[in-house]
Amino acid sequence: MRSTFFAEEDTREQLAAFVRRTSRLSMGEECARFEQAFAAYQQRRYAVLVANGSLANLGLIQALLNVGRLQKGDRVGVSAVTWATNVMPLLQLGLVPVAVDCSIDHLNVTSQTVEEHVDDLRTLFLTNALGFCGDIDRIRSLCSAHDVVLIEDNCESLGTRYRGTMLGNFGLASTFSFFVGHHLSTIEGGMICTDDEELYHMLLMVRSHGWDRSLPADKQQALRSAHGVDDFHARYTFYASAFNLRPTEITGFLGSLQLPLLERTIQRRQQNFRRFQAAIAGRPDLYHSLAVDHLERISNFAMPVIARSEDILQRTLRRFEAAGIEIRPIIAGDISLHPFWRASLPPASCPGARKIHAQGFYFPNNADVTDDEVDLLCDLLTTDSR
Ligand SMILES: Cc1ncc(COP(=O)(O)O)c(C=O)c1O
């Protein structure tokens, strides 16, 4: 069984001691402490901790609607290779997702695939899949030239650097997941980062029922006088469409414990990644190699592989199964092929994503795998007998 945390034993012991000694378990100082540390790590002005990455996406979209950066009915580009709860909040909140194809070289959208849609979009909510990205600097320029708001779902790429900039810092805002097995685990957990103060204040309200309690005092006063609310009724006055997305102090405590270990886990996973990548490159007859030279640092928690054919995928699947190692599709594959998409949206033409869907798979790249286990995984990849 794989661990829930990096430094599992110590983390569980510290967590147990924290739960015993703390007088407060609902959102409070521990959450604020982790938010500050995370914002500093990510080099963003603001970070808002929420209960998971899916709710980070939901909260961000709601906040953008509330501040008028999105309007109901807007067409929002999404990476065709993404996760369901990247797209579902758009549908739930009255927006129209448009699938943008992903290149099999990068696993992600590129300026070329964005260009096909950019005239038609108000926002691009791209997913940085599995620690990789396309030419995201050019995508950003393209978006700003066309007045398209760029936001990033960075739930799978915390710590990857592209030409000196961390992924998650290219758009107006970005979301993160701290679910078990991700770069940093708080069991469940998510974050929204931005440098935009107005959006930050709205995120604080969207996270907590739409009331003003988390806002700075001057913002509270401004809202209360604009709406004629006295201090007594202010406790239960709701200003903006919102949810309850709050984490607990356990999430904040675990985040602060795990964050200082993040660099070590990224390094370890990067070493594993390089070995898997070399094994794959040694069998060009079986697999397609990803383009990674444009990435200064890769932060990868699951190793994606695209087989040259569905037949090769099936043979590889059988080898991994026989060794008792579970492999999975590359995220959700082509999101436009899923029943929920088909039920409410027109079919999309995404040949790259379709190939990733039909011929791709991934296996975990855990920071605590041993060298022997890495050898075994490389052998399983390369030892193909028909
Ligand atoms: C790209 C992407 N977005 C959002 C999520 C949702 O995160 P969570 O599992 O924390 O809800 C995931 C989950 O792994 C994801 O891969």
Closest residue to atom 8 of ligand 1, CA basis: 53
pLDDT in tens, 191-207: 999 999 999 999 999 99
The pTM for the full model equals 0.97
Task: Give the whole-angstrom CA distance, residue 350 versus residue 333.
Answer: 11
**Could you give phi then psi for residue 214, rounded to 5 degrees?**
-85, -5
Q: Which of the four pLDDT bands, split at 50, 70 and 90, describes residue 307?
A: very high
Residue 2 in any domain: the answer is no
Distance CA 152, CA 34 (A): 21
- Catalytic residue numbers? 182
- Can you point out the beta strands (E) in 5-114? 46-50, 75-79, 96-100
Q: In degrees, to the nearest 5, what angle opens at C-alpha 206 toward C-alphas 201 and 207? A: 100
Ligand 1 atom at shortest distance from the alpha carbon of 127: 1
Whether residue 23 has pLDDT greater than 80: yes
CA pair distance 224, 204, nearest whole angstrom: 16
Residues with Cβ within 8 Å of 278's Cβ and at least 6 positions away in sequence, in order, are none
- Determine if ligand 1 sits within 6 Å of the CB of residue 157: no
My answer on whether 14 and 150 are in the same domain is yes
Task: Report the pLDDT value the prediction gives residue 385, as an integer from 0 to 100.
Answer: 74
Sign of CA dihedral 323, 326, 329, 330: negative
Instruction: Using CB atoms within 10 Å of the CB of residue 105, give its burial: 0 to 12 exposed, 13 to 18 middle, 19+ buried.
Output: middle
| Tokens at 225, concatenated | 């006088």
Q: Rounded to an integer, what is the distance from CA 36 to the centroid of its chain?
A: 19
Give yes or no: residues 213 and 74 share one domain.
yes
Residues 6+ apart with CB under 8 A from 382: 279, 282, 283, 286
Q: How many domains does the chain have?
A: 2
Q: Which residues of 272-290 are buried (b: 16+ CB within 10 A; e: fewer)?
A: bbebbbebbeeeeebbbeb
* Domain termination residue (choose one: 261, 276, 299): 261
Q: Copy the structure tokens of residue 284.
A: 């060009």
Q: Tell whether the model's pLDDT for residue 105 goes beyond 70.
A: yes
Q: Which domain holds residue 221?
A: 8-261
C-alpha 94/C-alpha 197 separation (Å) is: 25
Pocket test of ligand 1: the residue of 54, 102, 330 to mutate, having most ligand atoms within 8 Å of its CB, is 54
Based on the fold, state whether residues 241 and 290 are members of the same structural domain. Answer: no
Q: Which regions of the chain does DSSP assign to beta strands (E)?
A: 46-50, 75-79, 96-100, 123-127, 149-153, 161-162, 165-166, 173-177, 190-194, 287-288, 295-297, 302-307, 360-364
**Average pLDDT for 311-324:** 95
Average pLDDT over every residue of 140-158? 98
Closest residue by Cα to residue 32 from 57, 49, 45: 49
For residue 211 and ligand 1, the question of a CB distance below 6 A is answered with no
Mean per-residue pLDDT of the chain: 97
Q: Is the pLDDT of residue 2 over 90?
A: no
Q: How far is it, in rounded angstroms, from Cα 192 to Cα 53? A: 9
Atom number in ligand 1 closest to CA 85: 4
Q: Is the pLDDT of residue 119 over 60?
A: yes
- Amino acid 78 reads V
Sheet (strand 161-162) strand order:
165-166, 161-162, 295-297
Q: Is the pLDDT of residue 106 over 90?
A: yes
Same domain, 82 and 224: yes
Same domain flag for 199 and 320: no
Question: In this structure, are 297 and 208 located in the same domain?
Answer: no
User: Could you tell me the CATH number of the domain that includes residue 305?
Assistant: 3.90.1150.10
What is the per-residue pLDDT for 279? 97
Distance 127 CA to ligand 1 centre (A): 10
Q: Cα of 177 to ligand 1 centre, how many Å?
A: 6
Tell me: do 279 and 230 sit in the same domain: no
Predicted local distance difference test score (pLDDT) of residue 384: 85
In a domain, 1, yes or no: no
Residues 55 and 143 in one domain: yes
Decide: 152 in ligand 1 pocket, CB within 6 A.
no
Q: So what's the pLDDT on residue 3?
A: 87
CA of 176 to the centre of ligand 1 (A): 8
Q: What is the chain's length?
A: 386
